[in-house]
Amino acid sequence: MPRIAGGTFLITGGASLVGSYIADALLAQGAKEIRLLDTLALGSTEMVGHLLNDTRVKLIRGDVTQLDDVVNAATGADGVFALAAFLTISMAQNPALGVTINNMGIVNTVEACRIAKVKRIIFASSVGAYGLPTADVITEETPFTSAGASPAFVLYSASKLTGEALCAHYQKAHGVEFNALRISSVYGARQHNRAVNANFILQVHDRIRRGEAPVILGDGKEVHDYIYVSDVADAAAIAMSSPSHGHVLNIATGIDTNLTRVTEIVLEVCNARHLKPLYRADDRAVKASTVTHLNFSRAKAEKTIGWTPKISIEDGLRRTIAWRDSRGKS
């Protein structure tokens, strides 16, 4: 298994929210070299600006749909974090490109790992791999449910199931070790506007800091498992260096938080409890999961790789809002 200290790692889609935090975690643990492969189509140098003065970090302009780009970037790496992808909103805007990037990107990434003899790949999968599940507790055994899911969400989710299967195949056929992380709704400082569920946080905060009442679409009972981005990065680093591999793992807090509660916390953090939420009809064009019960089990991640999340939703929202406020009102 790759050791983080002294190791060389490639992060595809590295100029991303999650990628920037994985790079932070690897550097803090003494990695020798971090390569961030990105087209910068969605991510930006601003996301990783704080890293670029570190001589251990190399930003490589390259495209995961081009096998040569991934092979060149992966050569000499001990491990690869496969993040390059379109999320559901981007998938809805350009499905042809999204399907190509998400599917060919992971095809090329596992193939590059085989060619370059990379020891392990950590695949950024998603709890989207469950679709709209109805189980009481969602474990890694819970099947995908497509009924009622929006087409763009299904395209995104299917690409994550494809990626997991490719990783499992390459481990079995070629000995490239993997762990695939079914990550829940990520949010945090450096938050972008490409994730449906985190966008709700941004929209609520934007209205509150303009002195306007926050708007909740629907009855406020829709829940998400919001996970702070540094907890995801910790999980990725642990999954890379753990003796245990070959797993699909829920990387979620296990806590459902509904839209009304998120709004209450943001109001508290902003000292704006006098603003009363307005409930309006849900007219979002693009939706991901819209259920009122999730209950993701994180027992397998705890048992196999010893990961547990550390940041509560209250603390995470405080950090996110502090970061947004530090950049001024936009």
Binding site for ligand NAD (CB under 6 A): 12-13, 15-19, 37-43, 63-65, 83-85, 87, 101, 105, 124, 126, 183, 185-186, 192, 194-195, 198
Instruction: Find residue 177's DSSP bridge partners.
Output: 120
- In the complex, minimum distance from the CB of residue 95 to ligand NAD, in angstroms, rounded to a whole number: 14
Residues 6 or more apart whose CB falls under 8 angstroms from that of 152 comprise 88, 89, 91, 92, 95, 98, 286
Nearer to ligand NAD, 114 or 192 (CB): 192
Nearest-CB residue for ligand NAD:
43
- In the complex, minimum distance from the CB of residue 176 to ligand NAD, in angstroms, rounded to a whole number: 18
Helix-strand-coil split of the chain, %, nearest 5: 40, 20, 40
Q: 3-state class of 82 per DSSP?
A: strand
Nearer to ligand NAD, 21 or 277 (CB): 21
CA distance 156 to 109: 17
Nearer to ligand NAD, 239 or 277 (CB): 239
- In the complex, minimum distance from the CB of residue 117 to ligand NAD, in angstroms, rounded to a whole number: 22
Instruction: Find residue 186's DSSP bridge partners.
Output: 227
- In the complex, minimum distance from the CB of residue 165 to ligand NAD, in angstroms, rounded to a whole number: 16
CA distance 196 to 152: 12
CA distance 80 to 12: 8
CA distance 158 to 125: 10
- Antiparallel, parallel or unpaired: β 226-228 and 185-187: parallel
- In the complex, minimum distance from the CB of residue 61 to ligand NAD, in angstroms, rounded to a whole number: 9
- In the complex, minimum distance from the CB of residue 85 to ligand NAD, in angstroms, rounded to a whole number: 3
CA distance 186 to 97: 23
Nearer to ligand NAD, 61 or 174 (CB): 61
Nearer to ligand NAD, 277 or 288 (CB): 288
Nearer to ligand NAD, 83 or 217 (CB): 83
